[in-house]
Structure 1
Amino acid sequence: MPIYAPTLPPAPDLGHGHPPVLVLLRFDFARLWRQKIGRFFGFAFLMLLIWKVARIYVDHLLQTNQAFKSMQDFAKTILTQGADFQADLLNPASYLLWFLVALVGGGLVARDTLYRVRPLMYAHPVAPRDYLLAKLSFASALPFAILLPFALLPWLMSLLLAGTNGPVWVTAPLRLLPAMAISSVLMGSLAVGASSMAATPRAGIGWVLGLVLGAGTLASMIHGLTGIRAIDGLNPVMLAEAWPQLFVGVARPLVGWVPALLGTAFHIGLWTFVAARRTQPSEAVI
């Protein structure tokens, strides 16, 4: 009897279903939820947020209650005021937030490398561009979501207590939200780029922390040897803290506008390029 070739199934319609970027984002968020990493960090950030909101109430009492009038001058000497106070609302963008970004973002690409998942993804309608965009979006959305309550809740508390005369400026969210977005993209791109160079999630955490601390140490050494303050624009931690200061108009920010722009563009461009190269189909198989 003649042997006929098997009938192939019809080609799938790639126009149906959710975009690959959204599917990968949902998968990463579900994996983060199952890992239960946020218990310790959630408690730490919650305590910081409670302190920020309580500070608004204390400032309101000092301004309105005559019984605390004698403490008003003392409070001004130990607590930040004006533009410094507005920028200080986002001070969790320091080592604690960087450590959380390293803990979560260090395994974003390295875990797929370890278990050789990317060849399976690229065999489906997932382009390397979709994969990279999903990882960068997730790594950037995490710090932005953590910083968002620090920008909005004290602002709302100030409006409820004192209206436009409260300690938090009425325009504070318009200034802090762009600063948060830039800092979050900086953190996300560095985390994804570092994770793409690691073979395991633990190594990815080390890569992120090593790059952050190493770049900061290198910038501090060059600054100390040459006296050039603009070199601090290579320090990712200083950049993340400087952007809120720049947007609210602090008199002496950690990094000036030009070094901050150049340093942030350098880090985002470099680590996005590294991640794009390391997530190509040719790099998907070890």
Structure 2
Amino acid sequence: MPIYAPTLPPAPDLNQGQPPALVLMRFDLARLWRQKIGRFFGFAFLMVLIVKLTVIYVKYLLDTNAALRPMQDFAKAVLSQGAEFQAGLLDPASYLLWFLVALVGGGLVARDTLYRVRPLMYAHPVSPRDYLVAKLGFASALPFAVLLPFVLLPWAMSLMVAGLHGPVWPTAPLRLLPAVAVLSLLMGAMAVGASAMAATPRAGVGWVLGLVLGTSALASLVQGLTGFVGAQALNPVLLAQTWPQLFVGMDRPFMGWFPAALGTAFHIGLWTFVAARRTLPSEAVI
């Protein structure tokens, strides 16, 4: 009897299913959920948010309660409703957020490097560009998701208790959300770039904190030696605080639009380039 070759199954259609970048982001989210890192940080961010909401309600009571009218002058000096107050909605959260981004973002690429899983990913329909987009997208979406309640909840509460004349401007989300997007992309790019240079997740955390604190110290050192104030554009912590001030129109922000845009573009471009080079197929195995 003739021997026939076995029938092979049809080739899979690679156009079906979710894009590879979204699949990788979903796996990173599931891994973050299993690590339970958000318990401590969730409690801390919740306390800061409760304080913000309490301040808004106190301001409303001072403006509407006749018994508290003698305290209005003091309240206006301490609890200003101007642009500084609007930008300050994000200040306490942004400091703590750097540590959360370091703990989570430091292992995004370093963990794959340690366990050598990138060759397996690249053997499947995952390109280096998909991998980079997934890591940058997840590292940037995390701070955006954390800061989003700090914009929307105070704004919603101000509208509910005081209407259009409340402590928070009715146009605050239109001003603050673009600032949150810019500083989230800055944090994500630095976290992924630092993680790409590390060999272990713990080292990745150190790399992220080292880059953030090191560039901040370098900017302050250059300013102290040369007197050049524009050197603070290298300070990522100061950049994250400056963008809300610029978008709400503060009279004296930490720096102007041009140095802030230049410094942010430098950091995003540099660390995205580093991450792209360190995640090439030739760098997939130590």
Give the structure-1-normalised TM-score: 0.96
What is the count of residue pairs matched by the alignment?
A: 286
**Helix, strand or coil for the counterpart of 1:253?**
coil
The list of structure 1 runs, each at least 4 consecutive aligned residues, that deviate by more than 4 angstroms after superposition, is: 1-9
1:102 is aligned to 102
Identity %: 77
Name the structure 2 match of 1:283: 283
1:36-82, CA deviations, whole angstroms, 9 ceiling, x for partnerless residues?
00111000000010111111110000001111111112222333430
Q: CA deviation at 1:114?
A: 0.2
> What aligned pairs does 1:155-234 form with structure 2 within 5 A after superposition?
155-234=155-234
Aligned to 1:57: 57
- Structure 1, 63-72 or 97-106: larger mean CA deviation: 63-72
For 1:218 and 1:6, the matched residues in 2 are separated by: 66
Corresponding residue SS for 2:91: coil
Q: Work out whether 1:20 is the aligned partner of 2:20.
A: yes
Distance 1:30 1:48 in 2: 26
**CA gap 1:276/1:3 in 2 versus in 1, 3 angstroms:** farther
Q: Contact 2:90/2:147 (CA < 8 Å) preserved in 1?
A: yes
1:8 is displaced (CA, Å) by 5.3
Listed as ranges, the matches of 1:87-98 within 5 Å are 87-98=87-98
Cα pair 2:107 2:202 within 8 Å, conserved: yes
How far apart are residue 11 of structure 1 and its match? 2.6
CA RMSD in angstroms comes to 1.6
Aligned to 2:241: 241
1:93–1:240: 8 Å Cα contact kept in structure 2?
A: no
1:25-64 matches, cutoff 5 A: 25-64=25-64
AA paired with 1:179?
A
1:249 CA drift (Å): 0.7
Question: Post-superposition shift, 1:251?
Answer: 1.1
Q: Spell out, residue by residue over 1:141-181, the C-alpha distance to the aligned partner (whole angstroms, 9 max, x if none).
A: 00000000000010011111111111111110000000000
Structure 1: distance between partners of 2:99 and 2:43: 15
Gap regions ≥5 residues in structure 2: none
Amino acid at match of 2:244: P
User: Would you say the 8 A contact 1:230–1:256 is kept in 2?
Assistant: no
* 8 Å contact kept, 2:81–2:168: no
How far does the alpha carbon of each residue in 1:187-228 deviate from its partner, in whole angstroms, 9 at most, with x for none?
000000000000000000000000000000000111112222
Distance 2:200 2:96 in 1: 22
Shift in alpha-carbon separation, 1:281–1:4, aligned structure 2, 3 A:
farther
* TM-fit CA distance, 1:2: 11
1:109-120 alignment to 2 at 5 Å?
109-120=109-120
Is the Cα contact below 8 Å between 2:176 and 2:247 reproduced in 1? yes
1:139 — aligned with what? 139
Q: Which moved more, 1:73-82 or 1:226-235?
A: 73-82
Q: What is the CA–CA distance in structure 2 between the aligned matches of 1:217 and 1:5, rounded to whole Å?
A: 69
d(CA) in 1 for partners of 2:94, 2:112: 28
Q: Decide which moves more: 220-229 or 178-187.
A: 220-229
The 1-side partners of 2:119 and 2:10 are apart by 23
Query: Counterpart of 1:190 in structure 2: which amino acid?
Result: M
Counterpart of 2:28, as a letter, is D
> Which runs of no fewer than 5 residues in structure 1 stay unpaired?
none
**3-state SS in 2 of match to 1:92:** helix
* Counterpart secondary structure, 1:96: helix
The one-letter code sitting in structure 2 at the alignment partner of 1:236 is P
Q: For structure 1, which segment, 237-246 or 217-226, has the greater mean C-alpha deviation from structure 2 after superposition? A: 217-226
- Aligned-residue offset at 1:109: 0.1
Instruction: Describe the SS at the equivalent of 2:199.
Output: coil
SS of equivalent to 1:254: coil
Amino acid at match of 2:185: V
Contact 1:93 1:241 (8 Å CA) reproduced: no
Cα pair 1:92 1:147 within 8 Å, conserved:
no
Task: Decide whether the 8 Å contact of 2:158 with 2:168 is kept in 1.
Answer: yes
What do the CA deviations read for 1:114-152 (whole angstroms, capped 9, x no partner)? 000100000000000000000000000000000000000
Shift of 1:235: 0.3
